[in-house]
Amino acid sequence: MASQSSIQFIDAALFFPTTFPLSYTDPDQKWLIRSHLVSLLQNFPFFRPSMGAFIHNDGTTANLLNATGDLQVSRSTPPVPLTIWLHENYPHAAPIVLVSTNSMYPIQRDNPFVDPSGATTSPYLQSWFHPKSNLFDLVHNLVKIFSHNHPLFHNSNLSTLSHPSLVSKMEAMDRLSCTLHYDLMAFRAQSDEEIESSSALQSEMTKRVDITRNMIVGLEHEKSKLKRRVKELTEQGDVLMNWLRVHSRKCDDEGEDGFECVDEASKAVLDCLAKDMALEDLMYALDKAIEQGVVPFGAYIRQVRVLAREQFSHRAMLQKLKGS
C-alpha cells in the first residue's frame, strides 16, 4: 500500500507547487496523474515519487514527476533500477522509462527492450493509448518482459517461458517483438559481414582494374612503338631495295659479287672480312670433326693454332684498315 507521505508528496507537487512548479497545467490531467501514481504505489510500494527537470531529446526541459524503484522480476535475478518519468502530456503521451546505468550490473548488449543508455521500450509503450493504458499495467508488463529478457548482465540470466497457449495477447506481442529483434540483430550481423566482405572484394577488384589498366596502357604504348619501328624498317628496306636495283650489277653464272668496291681500301677490308669468316667456318668444321672422331686430337690442335694465327693477322689488318 502507498505510504501516506508519498501521497502527500504527490498532492503537494501537483496542487500546491511552491519553488518547483511542474509542467502539468490541466486540472483534469493532474487528477489522472495522481490516480495513476497512487495506484502504482499501492501495487508496487517499493517505488518512491519524486520530481525533477527532464531534458528531452530535442533539448527542451520540463519539470516532471517520476517514480523510482528497484523492480524485482524474479528471485534468481538482480532487481532492475527503474525511473518512470510522467511526460508533460501524460496520460495522452506514454511515460518515459529508464533503466539506471549506475547499477553494479551492466546493461545487456542487444537487449530487445533496453538500449545501452537505459532507454526502455516495449510493445505496451509503443501502443500506449489513453484511457486503456496506465502505470500499473505498464510495470506489470515490464515484470513479464524482464523475466524473459533481463536487461542487466548477470550469471543466472535464464529465460523461463510458459506454453504459448497460456500467454496473453500482450505477452505474445512481447515475445514476437523479442524474436523479431534477435532475428533482426542476426540479419544485421550477417549483412555487416557480407558488406565487409563485399567491400574487401571491391577494393581488390579496384586494385586489379588499376593494374590491368596500367598493363593495357603499357601494351598500347609498346604497340605504338612497334608500329613505328615496323614503319621505319619498312622504309629502310625500301631504300635498300631501291639502292640494290640501281647499284647492283649483273652476276654471271659463276656468281660474281653483287657489290662493287669503290676503292682499294674498301676492297682490302672486304677481303679481310671474307678471309676471317672463312677461317671461322674452317675452325667450326674442325670442331665438328674432332667431336665425330674423324681428325686426331694432335692434328686438330696443330691445325687450330695455325688457323688462329692466320685469323689474328687478318683481324689485326682489318682494325688497321678501319683506323686509317
Instruction: Render 230-259 in DSSP notation, one character per residue.
Output: HHHHHHHHHHHHHHHHHH-----TT---SS
Question: Domain with 139 in it: what CATH number?
Answer: 3.10.110.10
Is 111 contained in some domain? yes
- The burial of 291, by beta-carbon neighbours within 10 Å (0-12 exposed, 13-18 middle, 19 or more buried), is given as exposed
Is 236 contained in some domain? no
Residue 167 clears pLDDT 60, i.e. is over it: no
- Distance CA(264)–CA(246), nearest Å, equals 22
- Distance CA(294)–CA(263), nearest Å, equals 43
What is the side-by-side order of every strand in the sheet holding 80-85?
A: 48-55, 61-71, 80-85, 96-99, 119-120
Domain of residue 116, residue span: 4-148
Is 127 contained in some domain? yes
Other residues' Cβ atoms within 10 Å of the Cβ of residue 13? 24
**Domain closes at, from 123, 148, 173:** 148
Query: What is the 8-class DSSP label of residue 107?
Result: B
**Domain closes at, from 104, 130, 148:** 148
Which of 135-149, 163-177, 293-307 shows the lowest mean pLDDT across its residues? 163-177
Question: Do residues 17 and 141 both lie within one domain?
Answer: yes
Residue 254: predicted pLDDT: 43
Rounding to the nearest 10 degrees, give the CA dihedral for residues 117, 148, 131, 7.
-70
* Alpha carbon 200 to its chain's center: 6
Contact predicate 138/86, CB 8 Å = no
Residue 180: predicted pLDDT: 67
Residue 150 clears pLDDT 60, i.e. is over it: yes
Residue 289 clears pLDDT 80, i.e. is over it: yes
91-123: b or e for each residue (b if 16 or more CB lie within 10 Å)? beebbbbbbeeebebebbeebbbbeeebebebb
Strands 61-71 and 80-85: antiparallel
| pLDDT mean across residues, the chain | 84
Place of cell 501521497: 7
At 179, the pLDDT band (50, 70, 90 cuts) reads low
How many separate domains does the chain show? Answer: 2
Pick from 147, 81, 94, 99: nearest CA to 123: 94
Mean pLDDT of 43-58: 93
Question: Do residues 140 and 270 both lie within one domain?
Answer: no
Which of 94-98, 234-238, 248-252 shows the lowest mean pLDDT across its residues? 248-252
Is 240 contained in some domain? no
Is 250 contained in some domain? no
Query: What is the 8-class DSSP label of residue 132?
Result: T
Mean pLDDT of 191-220: 89
Contact predicate 73/141, CB 8 Å = no
- Distance CA(210)–CA(213), nearest Å, equals 5
Is 288 contained in some domain? yes
pTM of the entire predicted model:
0.53
Contact predicate 270/261, CB 8 Å = yes
- 197 dihedral zone (left: phi>0; alpha: psi -120 to 50; beta): alpha
Is 155 contained in some domain? no
Q: Among 6-20, 54-68, 172-186, name the most confident range.
A: 54-68
Residue 174 clears pLDDT 70, i.e. is over it: no
Mean pLDDT of 119-147: 91
C-alpha cell at 299: 692434328
Is 194 contained in some domain? no
> DSSP H helical segments within 4-94, as ranges?
4-15, 27-43
**Domain closes at, from 108, 123, 148:** 148
Which of 19-23, 66-70, 253-257, 282-286 shows the lowest mean pLDDT across its residues? 253-257
Residue 211 clears pLDDT 60, i.e. is over it: yes
Which residues contact residue 179 at a Cβ distance below 8 angstroms, ignoring those fewer than 6 apart? Answer: none
Mean pLDDT of 18-24: 88
Terminal-to-terminal C-alpha distance of the chain? 130
